[in-house]
Structure 1
Amino acid sequence: MCCGGCAKCIGVTLIPLAVLCTLANILLFFPGGTPVSWENITDEVRLFGGILGSGVLMVFPVLVFLGLKNNDCCGCCGNESCGKRFAMFTSIIFAAVGIVGAGYSFIVSAVALKRGPKCEFVNNTITEWKYPFDNGNHDMRNDCPSPNHIVPWNFTLFSLLLIMSGSQMVLCAIQAINGLFGTLCGDCKSCGCCGGDGAV
């Protein structure tokens, strides 16, 4: 299979994942679908794992992966000695950037799932926001009175972030391996992974 074609396929797959991760993180700023003040939002939401890690940082690998398909397989601006190898080597670097970004989102999501959401408690007209599940007692998950449905809201969205960021890490790792083959093989005619037909 063509190295550049494989990279383009990975890039196209990463686009919806990045968009969905960004949307999931934005929705987490409205626990249970309710707007709350900044200081009462769960700490892990404010770390922007889905927006920065799986969203913004993923833009750079996507652009590089999509551009590999249009690269001249056996030359760069007419220079046959550099084009393909350098382009594929660059894709390895940006794949690493993608792995770091998705890894950040993955870790933040895992911590958020373990810690649980920040909930509002009212005792004798005194309002207090705290993490009732922070002590590891997950039997208390039904004891989060407000905002409504915050527990399933956080659990669902952070679970989706965990799965999607994990998928992004796997895809970027695949491209890193693909890029390594492209870097070592050089031109298409001598590279089995590029089909030997002169096309990227």
Structure 2
Amino acid sequence: MFTLHALRHSAVRPTVPQWTSSRNFWGWVNMMFNRVDEKRLKLVGPDRLCAEWLLRNGAKVKFLNASHVQEHYNLLPDESVRTLVEELDGTESGIMHIGFDHLKGLKHLRKIKLHKCVYLQDQALAKLILVADTLEDLEVSSCKNISDHGLLCLKDLKKLKHLVTYELPYVKNLSDVEKQLKQALPECKMNLRP
């Protein structure tokens, strides 16, 4: 199967019509790779579909009770094997807020790392409410489109035990954000840096 990573780095690029820019084309491709396929969801369940979404977009996933991190779409276990997503690492991936609907129905996701996610926006952090009952560890770093508003969406993640943020240039009032988050999440250890 051709992954987005392979498509981006292949020598053969599809011809882009003159009326659109290459950037818009790749944004459209990323959007399509992030949409939830409702038919597939019914067939394989939320954990498998979430793993497919992550791997298709260049992210990594760790399954519950697995000793290794899954990095390659083509090496996913057979669909008949029940997998439960425990951790996701979106480092330098093409995941977008549209794709965060894949988190719905996950019951074991406890750790998320979002580092250098160029398509990530505040809406994605708002959708983390879908895993508020399990999420304990979160890193949001070097994501250039995240603002104060996005970080304040994390106030509803009552199970959060660790939060790390850094290199978020659109967060303008980090001290106020930190104050509000500490008030909402008194049990969470935070390391919020500019």
TM-score under structure 1 normalisation?
0.22
Q: Per residue, is there more strand in 1 or in 2? A: 2
Higher relative CO (Cα under 8 Å, sequence separation at least 6) belongs to 1
TM-score under structure 2 normalisation?
0.23
